[in-house]
Amino acid sequence: MTKKEGDLTWKDFEVGNIVAEPGSARQYRSGDWRSQRPTYEFSRCIKCGICQIFCPEGCIGQNDKGNFEADAQSPAPLYYCKGCGICARECPTRVITMVEEQE
Amino acid sequence: MATKVGQEVSIALGDAVKLANADVIAAYPITPQTHIVEHLAELVANGELDAEYIPVESEHSAMSACLGSAAAGARTFTATAGQGLELMHEVLYVASSMRLPIVMAVANRALSAPLSVWGDHSDVMAVRDTGWIQIFTENGQEVIDNIICAFRIAEDHRVLFPVMVHLDGFHLSHMIEPMLMPDQAEVDRFLPPNNFPLPLDPSHPVTMGDFGPPVVYTEAKWAQEVAFRATKPVILECWNEYARLTGRKYAPMEYYRCEGTKVRLLTMGSFSETATIAVDRMKARGTDIGLIRLRLWRPFPFEEVRQAVENTDVLIVLDRALSSGGPGGPVCSEIKAALYGLDKKPKVVSFVGGMGGRDISPAGFEEIINKGMAIARQGSANEFEIFGVRE
């Protein structure tokens, strides 16, 4: 889609709402209803990458220092994070703490 | 050259689908549609029709398989009736919203309970708003003609909507009638190959049936509605072209001996045939009466309905379905809605009858017409009249 969703008029739709552009689902920021976000205490991080493997949304990447975190060079940054907390639960060294989102 | 055949209408319908050279048929047998799909299964098994016949496990699966096959660009046919149509219900919306040109014959049947395999229009009315083009037929000839037209209408790039062809269960589906069956060359000239604009194709991947969050849903549905309302001229064009080839002309509303009549009866489907007998008899006795037949149910022909009642005083509408707790007959309520804005409009009297396979004889239609005229004169406290119920 060349236009943003909110700018599309009814005349902009393909017949049958077919989406002919591959990969356009990336534009849909599905994490905007998140109520918690992960925070990190990297002094305890052993760079095992377990959080990255378990993240159901593929939000987690490696930052410059080799630590794993959401939104770091990630193909799917934090705006796909639903705040599920799986990363925090699975982290063996308790690097990750979920905190309430402040509006 | 067309051949004159004496054939059960369901079998002839299957032969018409063969003439249309359908690529995929996905169907589940249900009374009174069974003979249609049995015959098609035979044609495919015998190698007379080069198509995939998918014997699915339910009507929900039948329509789902049709989605996939139509999306791949295959000419797709299915048929159902009554409960089967209801089991398809949620998938019907997907077919129309995805603009898939599926053709479906519906051998109209009552809905349970009490369990009834016999004909009425309860199943049609329950799928009224699913976004399918819907055509009523009256006899075998109209069935085969409109099946052939349905493929051309559905697949036209100005349309791209699925089409239902309604034929009354048993009263029409199981009759043996004389019909003119077009030959293959005639159908091939009339019906170009299906050329779905954006088919499923691994070398050009697209997303079909995507989800529509609140930010786009209204726009998506309005785009569909504008396109759906714009199908009527193409439907008329197709019927006119068919008339040019065969001499048989179809229209959204058709008239029988209406010239100068102030009182008109409106019916749909096979009962219209019986109603003509009543109209003939009453006219012979000097009664002022004509018959209007509604053929195009969706998109609803507002303009033609208004034209059909010009200079009339009374319109009597017979529905074969009940809108429970509502205005009575679903077709009549739409007719009333179409006429509401007119300054000069006839009195409209709603009858519901012929439910669950109950026959209405010519004498029955005479009774309906006489009672309708009396109600138009004297008024009635009822929203509608039920016809033929034993007190």
Determine, for residues B207 and A24 on separate chains, whether the beta-carbon distance falls below 8 Å.
yes
Cα(first)–Cα(last) distance of chain B, in Å? Answer: 54
State the pLDDT at residue A79: 79
State the pLDDT at residue A68: 92
Asked if A81 and A57 count as a contact pair (C-beta separation under 8 A), the reply is yes
pLDDT exceeding 70 applies to what percent of chain B? 100
Compute the radius of gyration of chain A from its Cα atoms.
17
Domain that holds residue A89: 29-100
Closest CB from B208, B213, B218 relative to A16: B208
How far, in Å, CA of B219 to CA of B37, rounded? 38
Asked if B349 and B289 count as a contact pair (C-beta separation under 8 A), the reply is no
Domain with CATH 3.40.50.970 in chain B: 3-246
Determine, for residues A11 and B98 on separate chains, whether the beta-carbon distance falls below 8 Å.
no
pLDDT (tens digit per residue) in B226-272:
999 999 999 999 999 999 999 999 999 999 999 999 999 999 999 99
What is the identity of the amino acid at B114? P
Min Cα distance B224 → chain A (Å) is: 8
Domain with CATH 3.40.50.920 in chain B: 253-386
Cα(first)–Cα(last) distance of chain A, in Å? Answer: 29
pLDDT (tens digit per residue) in B137-177:
999 999 999 999 999 999 999 999 999 999 999 999 999 99
Closest CB from A8, A12, A16 relative to B99: A16
Q: Which of residues 19-78 of A touch B (CB under 8 A)?
A: 19-20, 22, 24-25, 28
Domain with residue A63: its CATH number is: 3.30.70.20
**Residue A19 per-residue DSSP state:** B
The SS3 of residue B317 is: strand
pLDDT (tens digit per residue) in B193-231:
999 998 999 998 899 988 888 999 999 999 999 999 999
Determine, for residues B227 and A9 on separate chains, whether the beta-carbon distance falls below 8 Å.
no
Closest CB from B198, B215, B227 relative to A18: B198
Domain count, chain A: 1
Compute the radius of gyration of chain B from its Cα atoms.
21
Residue A22 lies in a domain: no
pLDDT (tens digit per residue) in A36-90:
989 999 999 999 999 999 999 888 988 889 999 887 666 556 778 999 999 999 9
ipTM of the complex: 0.85
In terms of phi and psi (left: phi > 0; alpha: psi -120 to 50; beta: otherwise), the region of B116 is beta
Give B107's strand partners. Answer: B167
Q: What are the distances in angstroms from CA B240 to CA B103, B104, B182, B251? A: 20, 22, 16, 9
Residue A78 lies in a domain: yes
Min Cα distance B159 → chain A (Å) is: 10
Maximum pairwise Cα distance, chain B: 70
Domain B253-386 class in CATH: alpha beta
Looking at CATH, the fold of the domain delimited by B3-246 is given as Rossmann fold (3.40.50)
